[in-house]
Chain A
């Protein structure tokens, strides 16, 4: 079974803190993705990566950065957390190419106070 794990289920941080969200997949997938999910807005893509050290901006990259140093690991970084970044963060991975499904992690619910 494909497994995508995220470092925390729940996280509480203060405004201005630097926040790291980690995602690891064990299926040798080339693609990895970070989404945020907010009520009424569905899932919105923050960043994705199709290879080690490669990254592409998604629909809402502002305030976020990413790192992919190893194929199995994709990190989302909030350089200076703000209250409007309180959200559910979902990581996913897939094989590269069309017609491949994405496998999701369980999500990290981040609260910034």
Chain B
């Protein structure tokens, strides 16, 4: 089952605008992570926010986490054409002898010049 569900599924904006993506999940988490995937490539880790944190920044990225609503948002400020990619949230949980991530279905972001 999909733990994380991103919204919207697709987003198209102009360069310089901000892009906001949302993620909802269903069960308790240790942390929530965001990843980026350029077309046809592997995923790259962007940022991790722990369950006891509410907001985190990294460069042009801002992530918020609301555990009461089981939701997170990723904001990319001053977007660039190079930000065009798919973005996935992933929630972390223990399973067996280790921890595993459960990924959502992703938001496809297109930044146009």
Interface residues of A (CB under 8 A from B): 4, 30-31, 33, 35, 40-45, 48, 50-51, 54, 56, 58-59, 88, 90, 92, 96-107, 109
Bound Cα distance from A44 to B2, whole angstroms: 8
Q: A56-B97, A58-B100, A107-B40 are in contact. Are A98 and B31 (CB under 8 A)?
A: yes
Q: A90-B42, A102-B45, A104-B43 are in contact. Are A50 and B98 (CB under 8 A)?
A: yes
B48 at the interface (CB under 8 A from A): yes
What residues on B are CB-neighbors of A48 within 8 Å?
Answer: 95, 98, 100
Q: A42–B97 contact, CB under 8 A?
A: no
Give min CB distance, A76 to chain B, whole Å. Answer: 15
Contact with A along B70-113 (1 / 0, CB 8 A): 00000000000000000010001011111111111110000000
Cross-chain contact of B1 among A40, A51, A54, A59 (Cβ < 8 A): A59
Cross-chain contact of B48 among A92, A99, A106 (Cβ < 8 A): A99
Query: Is chain B's binding surface mostly helix, strand, loop or mixed?
Result: strand
Cross-chain contact of B45 among A45, A98, A103 (Cβ < 8 A): A103
Q: A99–B106 contact, CB under 8 A?
A: no
Cross-chain contact of B92 among A42, A99, A106, A109 (Cβ < 8 A): A99
Cross-chain contact of B106 among A31, A42, A54, A88 (Cβ < 8 A): A42
Contact with A along B36-49 (1 / 0, CB 8 A): 00001111110010
B14 at the interface (CB under 8 A from A): no
Query: Besides the contacts A33-B100, A97-B99, what 7 more A-B pairs have beta carbons closer than 8 Å?
Result: A31-B99, A43-B103, A51-B97, A54-B97, A56-B97, A98-B31, A104-B43
Cross-chain contact of B43 among A30, A56, A90 (Cβ < 8 A): A90
Bound Cα distance from A101 to B106, whole angstroms: 17
B30 at the interface (CB under 8 A from A): yes
Cross-chain contact of A101 among B2, B48, B97 (Cβ < 8 A): B48
Q: A43-B88, A99-B30, A99-B31 are in contact. Are A56 and B96 (CB under 8 A)?
A: yes
